[in-house]
Amino acid sequence: MLPEVSTLKLKRQKLGWSQRQLAELTGITQGAIAKIEGGKVDPAYSTVKRLFDALDVEKRQEKEAKDIMSRKIVFVSPKDSIEVAIKRMVNLGFSQIPVVSKNHVIGRISEKLLVHLDTKDHSKPCDEVMDSPLITVGLHTKFSLLKEVLKLEEAVVVVDKGVLVGIITKNDLLK
């Protein structure tokens, strides 16, 4: 069963598509789509089906973590000093950096953590002061879910079969 024709415009807009883009994909003229969305015509079932099928195709082709992740992962080791973590973060403009041991994320060093440290002694190893690890997602985690998680977190790490393969920051969602 097809959705109500009255929802066509909203679905199209949610995908960020113009009427012209939908027209090019479906072979239905932009003018016809405008009339359908405006309720000025009663379209044939086959026309409505083509329009909603096109919108559903886009949904199935939603980007996944593997499509937007950065494969070059900058990290520190557990025994690296806090000083090393700070230098990497400052030099690269990062707000946090994962702590990685044997290709597994075991913690993170963040600006928030560093500001709240009781010590000015930056020679301590990262594993003595690190915070909880970044949230982990799989390669096929959908963009829409990543977007929701990154509303709450600064970054997520991507793993494949338990092995770290990428990282996604809020900035990566904008690419």
Q: What is the pLDDT of residue 144?
A: 86
Count the domains in the chain.
2
E strand spans, 35-145: 96-101, 104-110, 135-138
Domain that holds residue 118: 65-173
- Whether residue 28 sits in one domain with residue 42: yes
Residues forming beta bridges with residue 160, ordered by sequence position: 163
Average pLDDT, the chain: 90
- Whether residue 49 sits in one domain with residue 69: no
Tens digit of each residue's pLDDT (9 = 90 or more) over 38-79: 999 999 999 998 898 888 865 557 889 999 999 999 999 999
- Whether residue 96 sits in one domain with residue 44: no
| CATH number of residue 23's parent domain | 1.10.260.40
Spatial CB neighbours of 7, under 8 Å, sequence gap ≥ 6: none
Half-sphere exposure of 104 (CA within 13 A, CB side): 5
The 3-state DSSP class for residue 105 equals: strand
* CA-CA-CA-CA torsion sign (78, 109, 67, 161): positive
Range 40-46, long-range pairs (CB < 8 A, 24+ positions) = 43/5, 45/2
- Whether residue 156 sits in one domain with residue 110: yes
Q: What is the pLDDT of residue 16?
A: 85
- Whether residue 121 sits in one domain with residue 86: yes
Do residues 80 and 122 lie in contact, with contact meaning Cβ atoms separated by under 8 Å?
Answer: no
Query: pLDDT higher for 147 or 61?
Result: 147
Residue that the structure tokens 């990282």 belong to: 167
Report the first-to-last Cα separation within the chain, whole angstroms.
Answer: 35
Q: Which helix (H) or strand (E) holds 164?
A: strand 163-169
Percent of the chain with pLDDT over 90: 66
Q: What is the pLDDT of residue 166?
A: 95
CA dihedral 40, 44, 46, 52 (to 10 degrees): 30
- Whether residue 156 sits in one domain with residue 76: yes
Query: pLDDT higher for 117 or 77?
Result: 77
Q: What is the pLDDT of residue 85?
A: 97
- Whether residue 149 sits in one domain with residue 99: yes
* Residue at 7: amino acid letter: T
This prediction's pTM: 0.63
